[in-house]
Chains A and B, each alone.
Chain A
Amino acid sequence: MDTVANTDFTRTLNRLVELSIDGYYNPYTELQWEEALDDEQWWMPASLLTLYDTKFIDEFDEPQLMKLSKWESIHFYSLNIHGIRELLIEVTKRIHSPGYEGASEFFHHFIGEENEHMWFFAKFCLKYGSKIYPDKSMKMNVAELESDIQTFLVFARILIFEEIVDYFNIRIGKDESLHPVIRQVNNVHHQDESRHVAFGRQFVAQLHRDLIAAYGHARLTEIEGYLRRYIDASLQSFYNPAVYRDAGIEDEYRLRSALLKEPGRTRQHEKIMGRTTDFLIKNGILSEENSTL
């Protein structure tokens, strides 16, 4: 069965493909790069730092926080690179295979755009940070799951990842106090991601409706539990001891643990996840009574 064989969804996909074509830019020629970026400037707004809204932020002066903003932004782009690699693998596995006939045209644009995003994030990291933080995650073993549950989890994870990233892109892109090179990569990423999120929301909601028809309450609760843990793990991946070390902060592992216990960080996580959680609850993918995010 074609996973997108319904008229509304087909119309949405056609529209998204048109928008991709009309708004196409060539990042290899159109993005403007500086030879170097000064360390002593904000690389992302202070409100996006993992120390924000905690007692720890007062322990550092502005130049130290600027340095932290540099390494947290290089880390943010590194997370993007690793996330994009995973989603490219999953989408490439499915393009032009049975069940994805209706989505394949859109997937061509998706793959092309994501490849470009990975290129400019990697270029930014290597040019201005001389490194990409390594991927220390373990890939989920979905082989033993039913194929429709696998597909749902893959696209739900892609959607959650893209929405978290977009929260940062929007705020960095809009902040006029930041260097134009920094704003530019976040703005162009946000433009493409808004289409990918539009697709993801509709697709994930439909895949979940199919799961409701096929499985009982216990299995759906299990899937919800997995997604909640995935959201937590994704947010926690922003707190990286290697980043604190690069920013010259000592006792980096203890700092990470302490930050994750801070009530202010729970507040920030709720803000980051707000619109995504609303969407997941509205579509019955997460239940409201269990919602702590």
Chain B
Amino acid sequence: MSTAETASLLPKVKAWLLARKPEAGDIEMDLDLIENRLIDSLGFLEFVFFLEELGGREIKFDGDSLHKFRSLRAINENIFGAQ
């Protein structure tokens, strides 16, 4: 996926998160999404499927995959494959 393509996905991720937690205001690229409760254990699966659909491929899970979802930057690099 090109840098331009991945850049176009992040606003959609941000919009998805803010639709569920509007009080968050804005989300910085390095904000910890889990610590700041933008995603939690009960909403996580929905988020994974949303990202899979958006990125056009299944996300592979190994022993510790949570770091891939920690921030918008981590999602951009690990899920959408931005360099």
Chain A positions near chain B (C-beta within 8 angstroms): 134-141, 226, 229-230, 232-233, 236-237, 241-242, 253-254, 256
Contacts and interface: CB of A to CB of B under 8 A. Distances in A.
A102 to B, nearest CB: 30
Given A134-B61, A136-B61, A241 B41 contact: no
B45 A229 contact: no
A222 to B, nearest CB: 13
Interface of B: 34, 39-46, 48-49, 52-53, 58-61, 66
- Rank and list the top 5 A-B pairs by shortest CB-CB distance, nearest first: A253-B53, A138-B44, A140-B41, A233-B42, A138-B41
Given A236-B45, A242-B58, 20 more contacts: A135-B61, A136-B45, A136-B48, A136-B61, A137-B41, A138-B34, A138-B40, A138-B41, A138-B44, A138-B66, A140-B40, A140-B41, A233-B42, A233-B43, A233-B45, A236-B46, A241-B49, A241-B53, A253-B49, A256-B49
Contacts of A135: 61
A254 B49 CA distance: 10
A284 B48 CA distance: 34
Nearest to B60: A134
Nearest to A254: B53
A230 B42 CA distance: 6
A136 B53 CA distance: 15
A137 B66 CA distance: 10
Nearest to A260: B46
A229 B42 contact: yes
21 contacts: A134-B60, A134-B61, A135-B61, A136-B59, A137-B41, A138-B34, A138-B40, A138-B66, A140-B40, A226-B42, A229-B42, A233-B42, A233-B43, A233-B45, A236-B45, A237-B45, A241-B49, A253-B49, A253-B52, A253-B53, A254-B53
